[in-house]
Amino acid sequence: MLLNHKINCSSYGELKPNSIYNDLNLNHSDIFIYQIYLPDYFDIVDALISLLNFEEITRVNRYYHETDKNRFIICRSILKYLLSKHTRLDIQDIEIDYQANKKPHLSSHPSTFFNISHSENYAFIAIANRPIGIDIEYINKNFNFTPLLQDIFSDIEISFIKNSQDKRQSFYSLWTRKEAFVKALGKGIDDDFLKIPSLDGLHHLNTSDMARNKNWNIHGFEITDHYIGALAYEETPSLATSFSVISLSNELSDLIELLRM
């Protein structure tokens, strides 16, 4: 598992009709990463909810806080937009199911993998033709992470954090790498979480078939001064991975037009 790469997220392409990103066909080497700044979509929540099915609306109604309701509506509806575009299915035919480990998947297209993460004002969606996981975190300056170190990190990782110039940044960097990896595997945070390496370099996992004997890459990336993220995916040695990092338009007309193309 190689952990010493970074994705450049400082400059995004913007996904709009007639943009260079109109061809969203997934090749095996492609990984698409979509940035969503949630407050930009609050004004069109009432329109986006029309894309949800009965079960999804029932889930919306279980949320107590309006912020949580809006976040789910925005993330789920845009995810369905994107899956529709990538698979060429009608958006009404996008049915997101859940595996036994509660990981969402598209049963009609089992070779299309996706993962979503949100924190505070941002959400990110990753889509690929191989197992993939993404995690983003808001860097909370008031969060006391020190008591958690022993349960989450190895002695070497703890030493790395404690000796870093920016201990908080290092904590969140390593945490998101581990989270992205377990999400790609479809695992929860369990005893194996501590065993997952998160420092730069090549690592060999000796846990019980945790990674299915596959090669994995994990990339860290910075979003803004207050957010950090990581992406994990199965490596294909014969293919060079192509990343497309895209900021979506928040205009409903653009999203509708996108589906027609």
Give the confidence band of 257 by pLDDT, cuts at 50, 70, 90.
Answer: low
Q: Is the pLDDT of residue 90 over 70?
A: yes
What is the pLDDT averaged over residues 145-160? 93
**Do residues 152 and 251 touch, judged by C-beta distance below 8 A?**
no
pLDDT of 148: 92
Q: What integer is the mean pLDDT of 238-257?
A: 72
Q: What is the CATH number of the domain that holds 236?
A: 3.90.470.20
What φ, ψ does residue 99 adopt, rounded to 5°?
-75, 175
What count of Cα atoms within 13 Å lies in the side-chain half-sphere of residue 186?
14
pLDDT of residue 179: 93
| Contact assessment for residue 74 and residue 121, using Cβ atoms and an 8 Å cutoff | no
Query: What pLDDT was estimated at residue 195?
Result: 81
Do the Cβ atoms of 125 and 115 come closer than 8 Å?
Answer: yes
pLDDT reported for residue 21: 44
Please give the pLDDT value at position 206. Answer: 62
**Mean pLDDT lowest among 153-157, 178-182, 217-221:** 217-221
DSSP state of 211: T
Find residue 137's DSSP bridge partners.
228
Q: How far apart are CA 102 and CA 41, in angstroms?
A: 27
pLDDT tens-digit readout, 186-234? 876 665 788 888 888 777 776 555 555 578 888 888 888 899 999 998 8
Determine contact, residues 115/126, Cβ cutoff 8 Å: yes
**d(Cα 231, Cα 180) in Å, to the nearest integer?**
6
DSSP-derived 3-state class of residue 188: coil
The single-letter DSSP state of residue 198 is -
Q: What is the pLDDT of residues 54-89, one digit of tens each?
A: 999 999 999 999 999 999 999 999 999 899 988 888
For residue 67, the SS3 value is: helix
Helices (H) and strands (E) in the chain, counts: 7, 11
Burial 207-246 (b: 16+ CB within 10 A, else e): eeeebeeeebbbbbbbbeeebbbbbbbbeeeeeebebbbb
pLDDT of 100-135, one tens digit each? 777 888 989 999 999 999 999 999 999 998 899 999
**4-54 pLDDT per residue, tens:** 444 544 333 444 444 434 556 666 678 889 999 999 899 899 989 999 999
- Rounded-to-integer distance, Cα 114 and Cα 125, Å: 7
* Domain count across the chain: 1
* CA distances, 246 to each of 123, 126, 218, 232 (Å): 12, 10, 19, 18
pLDDT at 3 over 80: no
Domain that holds residue 27: 2-260
Q: Which residue would you say has higher pLDDT here, 256 or 20?
A: 256
